[in-house]
Structure 1
Amino acid sequence: MLTQLGMDVPLIQAPMAGVSTPALAAAVCNAGALGSIGVGATDANGAAKMMADLKGQTDRAFNVNVFAHAAPVPDPARENAWLDFLAPHFAKFGATPPKSLRVVYKSILEDDDMVRLLLAERPAVVSFHFGLPSQDVILVLKQAGITLFATATSPAEAQQIERAGIDAIIAQGIEAGGHRGMFDPTLPDDGLGTFALVRLLVRQCKTPVIAAGGIMDGAGIAAALKLGAMAAQLGTAFISCPESAADDAYRAALMGDGAYHTRLTSLISGRPARALSNRFTALEDEAEGQSLPDYPIAYDAGKALHAAAKAKGEFGFGAQWAGQGAPLSRAMPAAELVKTLMAEMKQAGVSPL
């Protein structure tokens, strides 16, 4: 499959909505790996612009990631209670919370414009996070010649992905930065590590498996391949690249002591996500027992608080997503990082494709 996509190395750069850019994805593609852009945080028009920008910088295959979360259920009582909880923190920066919260991200489950765009643009790969679209959408995308990936955090989710006819399963371990790809965040999460999950899926599924979570160097990629994965997906490793959209505060935090202390939090967006410890994640104890609005409604409040704090020079309320391998981060151009990862793979006894 990877050679069919024109890849020279079994490496996928994670889409990281809000951090990954067309320039980053293009640099990764041109270096022989699979670059990705995340369009879950924009609409079809924004996604079209991102794809056009990416195509202007590379003629190689790339991945477009979309969110497939269940539609949120608005609940004014919960939303107002959450805004009331956050009000004192807004006040510290001379701001007030929004009067109401919006659904800031649209799921592909209810975004026909995004489906039409994907069919028109036909990127080599489309990947799904938080679940799967309808079987009809899966079929039309496959009929258009698009290779499909989907994230699983458990064997049960992987079985759903395999039954749906998806081409590859991204096994996302608990170490991974950013949002957990859980289909239903209200269900118990066993928190399986990347390598345990990869081994389970390799043994239980016929569909190829991609390892994701905590992998930061060529030795980690080699280990994943030796455990049966066909490729490894790295996200946090690319945040420090100059082509990413991470701001200076995010980059500094990633290189600081906080990189050793990532934690899962739902406070920022309403869904579990792993981030660098900062002022937002520090509210966990204070917010214990607080009922959050559904994702992505809660994210509207999180973004507003970050904007208020940032306007006053405080960057500790940002969504500084990062995996547990964050201390291994290296600041270098994306193409150089891919080249370095390939060399490290060879040193670990695994050759590129």
Structure 2
Amino acid sequence: MMDALGLRLPIFQAPMAGVSTPQLAAAVSNAGGLGAIGVGATDAAGSAEMIAETRAATDGPFNVNVFSHETPQPDPEAEQAWLDLLHPLFAEFDAAPPARLRTIYRSFDDDPDLLALLIETRPAVVSFHFGLPGAQAVRALRDAGITLLATATNTDEGRRIKAAGLHGIVAQGIEAGGHRGVFDCRAPDPQLGTLALTRLLTAELDMPVVAAGGIMDGAGIAAALRLGAVAAQLGTAFIDCPESAADAAYRAALHGPGGYRTRLTSVISGRPARALENRFTAEDSVARHGTPPAYPIAYDAGKALNAAAKAAGEHGFGAQWAGQGAPLARTLPAAELVATLARELEAHR
């Protein structure tokens, strides 16, 4: 896969929807790695703009990541109960919760326009998070010459990715920042670590595996390669690059005490995701007494609460996703960070 993509370095930048930008993706690709943009939080028109902007800034391959989550089923009663539970937090900032919650992101499976766009623009790589698309979509993307990857958090998901005919697996360990890529949030999660999951998948499945989760430097990349991975995917390492879309509060929190106490929580979006410890993740009354609606319906409430808090000068309700390696984050331009990672990797081979 690495040779087919023409990559000089086994370094993938995680897509990080909302944080990754075309500028970040292009800088990583130009430096010899695989840059990525996450388009799961936008529509086909927004995706087209991001792809065009990335392509204008690099001749190298890049990854376009989409969300293949199960279509959420509205549940007005559960949604109202969740809004009622959040009401005191909104009131703290002299704001009211939304009157109702919306499905703010469409699944790739429900967006034929996005599929048509990917077939037309043919990015080098398309990757799937939260599950797999239907066989017809996989076949169409493969026929377009696109390399296809999907996230697995356990061996069963890895087997399903192979059976679906994709080209590779992103092995996401429990250490990873952002949303867990679990196919079914209702199923038991073995919460495998990156190294164990990578080794299990490389030992069992005869296909390329990209290790992801908690990897922040060349030593971590080297460890993943020794376990059989073809590359390592890093996300948190790139948050404080100037090319990322992270705001100042997010960057400051990354280097603060919350970086040592990341939490896996569903209260922000409705799906389990690892974030820096902040006001929202530490809101015990929400975590103990309520169950959020389905993703991404719950995220509508989370985003509204964050907007209300920020307007009042409180930045502790943001989706400040980060992995367990957060304290190792560096403040470097993306190209310089990739070059540093390459030197560290060479030193640890």
Q: TM (normalized to structure 2)?
A: 0.99
Q: Does residue 1:78 correspond to 2:73, yes or no?
A: no
Deviation at 1:146, TM superposition (A): 0.2
1:109-128 correspondence runs (5 A)? 109-128=109-128
The letter of the residue matching 1:23 is Q
Q: Does residue 1:107 correspond to 2:99, yes or no?
A: no
Residues 37-80 of structure 1 show CA distances to partners (whole Å, capped at 9, x for unaligned) of 00000000000000111111111110000000000010000000
Q: Does residue 1:302 correspond to 2:302, yes or no?
A: yes
Conserved 8 A contact 2:67-2:130 = yes
1:271-282 correspondence runs (5 A)? 271-282=271-282
Conserved 8 A contact 1:267-1:284 = no
3-state DSSP of counterpart to 1:160: helix
Q: Does residue 1:166 correspond to 2:166, yes or no?
A: yes
Residues 130-189 of structure 1 show CA distances to partners (whole Å, capped at 9, x for unaligned) of 000000100000000000000000000000000001100000000000000000001111
In structure 1, the partner of 2:34 is: 34
Residues 293-333 of structure 1 show CA distances to partners (whole Å, capped at 9, x for unaligned) of 10000000000000000001100000000000000000000
Conserved 8 A contact 1:265-1:284 = no
Conserved 8 A contact 2:27-2:334 = yes
3-state DSSP of counterpart to 2:137: helix
Conserved 8 A contact 1:148-1:167 = yes
Conserved 8 A contact 1:71-1:107 = yes
Deviation at 1:286, TM superposition (A): 4.2
Conserved 8 A contact 2:236-2:326 = yes
Structure 1 pair 109–284 and aligned structure 2 pair: CA distance change class (3 A): farther
* Counterparts of 1:129 and 1:287, CA distance in 2: 25
The letter of the residue matching 1:63 is N
In structure 1, the partner of 2:238 is: 238
Over aligned residue pairs, what C-alpha RMSD do you find? 0.7
- For structure 2, the 5+ residue unaligned runs are none
1:126-137 correspondence runs (5 A)? 126-137=126-137
Q: Does residue 1:150 correspond to 2:131, yes or no?
A: no
* Counterparts of 1:217 and 1:320, CA distance in 2: 21
1:122-271 correspondence runs (5 A)? 122-271=122-271
Q: Does residue 1:2 correspond to 2:14, yes or no?
A: no
* Counterparts of 2:171 and 2:307, CA distance in 1: 33
* Counterparts of 2:105 and 2:284, CA distance in 1: 24
Deviation at 1:120, TM superposition (A): 0.5
Conserved 8 A contact 1:270-1:295 = yes
3-state DSSP of counterpart to 1:344: helix
Structure 1 pair 141–286 and aligned structure 2 pair: CA distance change class (3 A): closer
The letter of the residue matching 1:76 is P
* Counterparts of 2:276 and 2:330, CA distance in 1: 16
* Counterparts of 1:332 and 1:289, CA distance in 2: 41
3-state DSSP of counterpart to 2:336: helix
Q: How many residues align?
A: 349
Deviation at 1:230, TM superposition (A): 0.5
Deviation at 1:287, TM superposition (A): 3.0
- For structure 1, the 5+ residue unaligned runs are none
Conserved 8 A contact 1:211-1:232 = yes
In structure 1, the partner of 2:284 is: 284
Deviation at 1:285, TM superposition (A): 4.6
Deviation at 1:292, TM superposition (A): 1.4
* Counterparts of 2:259 and 2:143, CA distance in 1: 43
Deviation at 1:5, TM superposition (A): 1.1
Conserved 8 A contact 1:27-1:335 = yes
Conserved 8 A contact 2:267-2:286 = no
3-state DSSP of counterpart to 1:15: coil
Q: Does residue 1:92 correspond to 2:98, yes or no?
A: no
* Counterparts of 1:55 and 1:300, CA distance in 2: 31
3-state DSSP of counterpart to 2:64: strand
Q: Does residue 1:311 correspond to 2:328, yes or no?
A: no
Conserved 8 A contact 2:85-2:286 = no
3-state DSSP of counterpart to 2:219: helix
* Counterparts of 1:134 and 1:268, CA distance in 2: 28
Conserved 8 A contact 2:8-2:33 = yes
* Counterparts of 2:46 and 2:124, CA distance in 1: 19
3-state DSSP of counterpart to 1:36: strand
3-state DSSP of counterpart to 2:171: strand
Deviation at 1:291, TM superposition (A): 2.2
Deviation at 1:4, TM superposition (A): 1.9
The letter of the residue matching 2:117 is L
* Counterparts of 2:337 and 2:291, CA distance in 1: 41
Residues 112-137 of structure 1 show CA distances to partners (whole Å, capped at 9, x for unaligned) of 00000000100000000000000010
Deviation at 1:195, TM superposition (A): 0.2
